[in-house]
């Protein structure tokens, strides 16, 4: 019985609900870091666990008045351990909108 619980625990931790929650946390952190208005994100791109990061693109409207409503795109790297989002402009990058 105990062995069954130990085997089932990791599977539950990486189930669809857990991944959905994680993706939501990543998207929220990256949108906040971008400071874009009306921000939208690409899908979360995962890497090998040894990397410890995931990435996505954030697109939206630059908040600075001198940008006059121009749109921009940023690459966001999210550190899974520290739960920190780091963004930098990714001019010319794009992602297919896979939200259905």
Q: Could you tell me what percentage of the chain is helix, strand and coil, using 3-state DSSP and rounding each to the nearest 5?
A: 35, 30, 35
Task: Give the residue among 30, 20, 26, 25 at the shortest CA–CA distance from 73.
Answer: 30
- pTM of the full structure: 0.80
Q: What tokens were used for 59?
A: 């697109």
b or e along 74-93 (b: 16 or more beta carbons within 10 Å of the residue's beta carbon)?
Answer: bbbbbebeeeebbbeebeee
Identify whether the C-beta of residue 58 lies closer than 8 Å to the C-beta of residue 78: no
Nearest one of 53, 52, 35 to 44, comparing CA atoms: 53
Name, in order, each residue with C-beta under 8 angstroms of 68's C-beta and a sequence gap of 6 or more.
none
Residue pLDDT, tens place only, 28-81: 999 999 999 999 999 999 999 999 999 999 999 999 999 999 999 999 999 999
């Amino acid at each position: 019985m105990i062995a069954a619980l130990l085997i089932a625990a990791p599977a539950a931790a990486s189930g669809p609900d857990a991944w959905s929650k994680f993706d939501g946390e990543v998207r929220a952190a990256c949108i906040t870091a971008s400071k874009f208005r009306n921000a939208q994100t690409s899908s979360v791109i995962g890497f090998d666990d040894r990397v410890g990061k995931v990435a996505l693109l954030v697109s939206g409207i630059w908040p600075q008045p001198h940008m006059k409503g121009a749109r921009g795109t940023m690459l966001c790297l999210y550190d899974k351990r520290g739960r920190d989002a780091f963004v930098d402009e990714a001019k010319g990058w794009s992602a297919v909108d896979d939200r259905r």
